[in-house]
Amino acid sequence: MALDGKVAVVTGGGSGLGEAIALRLSKAGARVAVLEIDLDAARLTADLAGGVAVRCDVSDSSSVDGAAAEVERELGPIDVWVNNAGVAAAAQAQRIADAAERQLAEAAAGAVATPLDALVRLPDDEWRTMLAVHLDGTFYGTRAAARSMARRGGAIVNIASVCGVEGCVGYPHYSAAKAGVIGFTRSVAKELAVQRIRVNAVAPGFLETAGAGIEENSLRIAQRLRTPLGRFGRKEEIAATVEFLASDDAGFFIGETLNVNGGLVTT
């Protein structure tokens, strides 16, 4: 029970990767608070994890601060905070799907001639929403966690992405947001280490869940084939990495980004 008795917060814990993380931390002994904009979804995960559900919009700093205060009232000071909440780039995936399919066919023939036009067709509101949820949300969550952990230390784990490491073609907003998470993690980790608050990140590769809004088609198959291990990652594998970084076993990890991507990117 690596996290026995510790209070752990998971944002975006109502489904998918967040749910897997919440259940993994609960299994490790943590008392879990599931933060989610959809309170009903949060309650479902919290019931499975034996924890509490709190409604939270991570793009709103006052909502995050209020959620942190509610967790402290319900469970006590926070020991672990996982910034996982995010939004999928589904609209962008659909917008560029036809051009991406043509590019894939052209690449197989030896020369790509079709412009993707992903950047020029990306609307302002989707850019702002992506950064507000992923990057602003990580900032607000980390700040709230640091306030709670200031006197006793703790661990903060930020969910980045392989797109933040190498940049994913066609998804400049998602790539920028996740690259920002990595840079933010490195900066605040050095600052907070003196307070015994460890901050690290996990950068998953392509997962079995359709997190990018792409269904099993030729593009999705190409993603899988690009991965040297020859398969997509499982959310349980990412959750296990989060548990490690949250535990005392990772006591000498400061500002690191663990690339869990089946060999897609090695650094």
Residues noted as catalytic:
174
Q: 233: which strand partners?
A: 207
CA angle 224, 161, 206 (to 5 degrees): 15
200, exposed or middle or buried, with CB in 10 Å at 0-12, 13-18, 19+? buried
Please enumerate in sequence order all residues whose Cβ is within 8 A of that of 59, keeping only pairs 6 or more positions apart, or say none: 129, 132, 133, 136, 137, 140
Which 3 state secondary structure label does DSSP give 168?
coil
Can you say how many angstroms the Cα of residue 253 is from the centroid of all Cα atoms in its chain?
A: 18
Instruction: Decide if 179 contacts 164 (C-beta within 8 A).
Output: yes
